[in-house]
Structure 1
Amino acid sequence: MSPSSQASNEALLAQLQGWRESFDQSFAEPRITDGWGDAWNVLGIRIAGEPFALSLDELAGLLPSQTPAPYPADVPALLGLIGHRGQALPLYDLRALLGRGASSGSRWWVILRAAPVALAVEGFDGQWRLPPEDRLQQAGSHDDVSSWTLRCNGELRPLIALGPLVERLTASLAAKKNVEPVASA
C-alpha cells in the first residue's frame, strides 16, 4: 500500500470514528433547546441512491453491516437475524419495505428504539440538527414517507415515518400467523 493510500485510509477511518462518536454522544446528551426552539436531530441515509432522513429520536443505534444469521421465514424483506446488546433482532431491507425492490447490498444497519427491529440501509450520509426553517411540511404523506421534507446540508430529504412502517410490518406478520391450517386427509 502506498503512503498516500495509507494516509487516505487513515483519514477515512478517522472520519468514520468521528461520526460514530458524534452519533453515540447524541443519545447521551440531554435534549438541548436554544434559539432554534425544538431542533430535530436526523440521520441522512440513502435508499436506491436517493437521499432520505430518519429521526434520531426513533433510533437506538447505527452499525456497519455484517453478514446476518440466516432465518428460515417466508417474509421477502427479512434478511436474517442480528445480535445487538444481547438481543436477537430481525433485520429487514428498508428499501424492500418501502416498495422500491430488494437492495443489492446494504452497508449500514439502523436499530429502532420503539421495536426490536433492525433495518438495512444502503448508505449513511451523516447526521444533522435542523432548525424549524429547514423543515418543509408537505400537503400529505405518501406511504411510509412522512409529510416532512428536510433540508440537510443543502439537499432535500424526505423523512421516513418509522412508526407506520413498523405498524404495517407487525400487522403483516400477524396476518401470516393467522393463516388457516391445512386440513389433513
Structure 2
Amino acid sequence: MTPSSATATTPHAALQDQLQQWRDAFDRSFDEPRGLDVWGDAWRVLGIRIAGEPFALLLDELSGLLPAQTAAPYPADLPALKGLVGHRGQVMPLYDLRALLGKGNSSGTRWWAFLRCAPLALGLEDFDGQWRVGPSDRLQHREAQDETGHWTLRCNGELRPLIALEPLIERLTASLAARRDAEPVASPLA
C-alpha cells in the first residue's frame, strides 16, 4: 500500500472528498441558467444549521457561499453586524443570521452567504447539504400569507424551516432606517 492510498481511506480524507463534492455541486448550481426550469417544480435549497437546528435557504436567493474569514471591523452598535467583507469587488456588511432571527449571537461563523436581493452577506454557523425539494416535500403553514415564507421543507428525511430572506432583509432595512431617523442630527455650528 502506498502512502497516498493509505491517506485516501482515512475519515479525514473522506470528509474532505465529501466537502469538495458539495462545493463543486454548489458552484455548478450558479452556472446553470436561472430562467430554465430544468428540475420541474423542484426548489433548490441549501441546508444550514443555526444553534444546532436545521434550516434551509433557497439557492436562487444566494449569489455565493464562501468559507468565513476575518471580517473587517466596523464601528456600530448593532449586535448582528459583524463587520465588512468583500465579494466580487464589492464591499458589503456582514450580519450574523442567528442574531437577525432573534436566536442570540452566533458562537462562530464558518460560512458567508452572499445575497442576490441586497448587497450584504450573512454569517452562517454551518451548512450540511443542498437538495432539490419537490412539491410533495414542501409543507406550507396555515398562517402563511404568500409563497415568500412560512414553509417547512423535508430534506433528506429531516424537516427544515425555510428562511425567507427578502422579508428578513426588508425588516433589517426598516430597522436601520428607523434607527437613523431617531438619531439626533449634530449641529454643524457646534
Structure 2: which 5+ residue stretches go unaligned? 1-5
Q: Residue 62 of structure 1 aligns to which amino acid in structure 2?
A: L
Using the alignment, how far apart are the partners of 1:77 and 1:70 within structure 2? 13
1:106 deviates by 1.3
- Give the alignment of 1:34-113 within 5 angstroms: 37-113=40-116
**Superposed CA RMSD:** 2.1
Contact 2:8–2:14 (8 Å) recurs in 1:
no
Aligned to 2:159: 156
Using the alignment, how far apart are the partners of 1:4 and 1:27 within structure 2? 32
| DSSP-derived class of the 1:41 partner | strand
Q: Deviations over 1:11-56 (max 9, x none)?
A: 222211111110011111133345xx31100000000110000001
Using the alignment, how far apart are the partners of 1:27 and 1:153 within structure 2? 22
Contact 2:84–2:94 (8 Å) recurs in 1:
yes
Structure 1: which 5+ residue stretches go unaligned? none
Contact 2:7–2:13 (8 Å) recurs in 1:
no
| DSSP-derived class of the 1:25 partner | helix
Q: How many residues align?
A: 179
| DSSP-derived class of the 2:184 partner | coil
1:172 deviates by 1.3
* Structure-2 change in CA distance of 1:180 and 1:63 (3 Å): same
Using the alignment, how far apart are the partners of 1:112 and 1:173 within structure 2? 18
* Structure-2 change in CA distance of 1:141 and 1:80 (3 Å): farther
Contact 1:146–1:158 (8 Å) recurs in 2:
no
Q: Does 1:18 align with 2:51?
A: no
Aligned to 1:114: 117
> If the length of structure 1 is used for normalisation, what is the TM-score?
0.89
Using the alignment, how far apart are the partners of 1:99 and 1:93 within structure 2? 10
Using the alignment, how far apart are the partners of 1:99 and 1:91 within structure 2? 16
* Structure-2 change in CA distance of 1:120 and 1:29 (3 Å): same
| DSSP-derived class of the 1:160 partner | coil
1:173 deviates by 1.4
Using the alignment, how far apart are the partners of 1:90 and 1:48 within structure 2? 22
